Amino acid sequence: MTASSRRPQRAAWTAGAASAALCLGALTVPTATAQPAAAPDAPRLDAAIAAIPAAGAPGAYGAAQDGDGRWTGAAGVADLTEETPADADSWHRIASVTKTFVSVAVLQQVAEGTVDLDAPAADHLPAGTLPDALAEEVTVRMLLNHTSGIGDYVQVAFPSLRQLSPESLEEHRYRELAPEELVEMGLSARSTGEPGERYSYSNTNYILAGMLLGEVTGVSAEEYVTEHVIERAGLSETFFPDSPELPTPHARLYDPLHGTQDPPGDYTEYDMSWAGTAGALVSTMTDLNEFQRALFSGELLPEKQLSEMLDTVPMTNGNGEQVGAYGLGLYEINLSCGKFWGHDGVAWGASTLAFSSEDGERQAAIGYNVTHYQTLAEDGTLNHHPVDTAVARYLDEALCGSGAQLSDEKLGQVQLTLENAGLSRSLG
């Protein structure tokens, strides 16, 4: 995939024979399966996405689908200097949404009998990858649901982040890192607990999952995911980058690092080997929707392994309070019409969310070109930002239909889940 690659523009709204389209849901029971409701129209979705740059993001681009109905839209700007309009067809760094792809690949190996979810991960890793103290305790499942207790390598790879300084981000813009180096960094970071003790998000888990794939399949994780997940799902706009550049069209990617950079740093061009199988994929919002549809329609995994993917552990915040539920490479959010599954992603300047109904009928994705836009409170916690509200309301409109309205209580729950899942992490 070259930086000059470009696909044809899509119409903003298309529909098949059932042009009533986009029948998104409405149900008041928080944990229920999403239910159908009156279809939203394109103007409502246009307004919902426009609210994101109005709240403070430079630009946003999104896609929603239900059955044969398709909507794509964009608002705001792709470039703060040139004020180029944002493009609905933008290629985007989807960051940790990559984890869902990698989890599917590992579960395919589980289905084939080559990997045991509850066996030690070290059984499927190159010898010596994990120290003896972890080799017999950390299972494959613990990697995928972030309960391994292994620390996150990001602040080791970018040490200036500890002081909220962008120095490391600029210094290492073109640095290449091997998976083994990332794992070594993660193992040197502070452990988050005993294996299996509790959920604690760590990118190191998914670098290890990628190494596991390479060991059991005999090809690189990137090659395996491309052939057996991306191509099998029929995606044509999703790839692991082999250069720091993004294809055209793309937005410029900005990060104010919690108010410490004004103007914000521009990280559009960046070597993503630091993210690897934890977050390096590039995609488009329409491709993300197609991936989610293929996953929940049973095209990528047998029913047993898909059920394993939705088997969750409590997602907790720093105080140990439950704020959500994390499965194997995805988590649940509860909107005004019920429960949806997906993941978020945060890579310098690129924020992404992609979610689907469990029956595979409805999907919505959103990308916007800013990260770490929230300021910090005196105690180091994140201050809420209006962009977070606008994004949550966009998801509800896209997935729950015309006139969908999150209550203040439900809105707070959604924001809390997203923030603690990773959308607002200050660690990348």
Q: Which residues are part of the catalytic machinery?
A: 96
How far is 160 from 149, CA to CA, in rounded Å? 23
How far is 422 from 275, CA to CA, in rounded Å? 14
Task: Record the tokens describing residue 323, joined without a space.
Answer: 């704020």
Q: How far is CA 255 from CA 263, 264, 380, in A?
A: 9, 5, 18
Distance linking the first and last C-alpha atoms of the chain: 25
- Angle at which helix 204-217 crosses helix 179-188, to 10 degrees, equals 140
Spatial CA neighbour of 263 closest among 349, 177, 188, 155: 349
Q: Are 398 and 21 in contact (CB under 8 A)?
A: no
Q: Is 139 left (phi over 0), alpha (psi -120 to 50) or beta?
A: beta
Place of tokens 């959920």: 199
Residue 180: alpha-carbon gap to chain centroid: 23
How far is 285 from 72, CA to CA, in rounded Å? 8
How far is 396 from 64, CA to CA, in rounded Å? 11
How far is 377 from 419, CA to CA, in rounded Å? 15
- Helix ranges restricted to H, 243-284: 276-279
How far is 385 from 24, CA to CA, in rounded Å? 27
Cα radius of gyration rounded to whole Å, the chain? 20
Q: Are 265 and 170 in contact (CB under 8 A)?
A: yes
3-state DSSP call for residue 360? coil
How far is 132 from 153, CA to CA, in rounded Å? 19
Q: Are 389 and 406 in contact (CB under 8 A)?
A: no
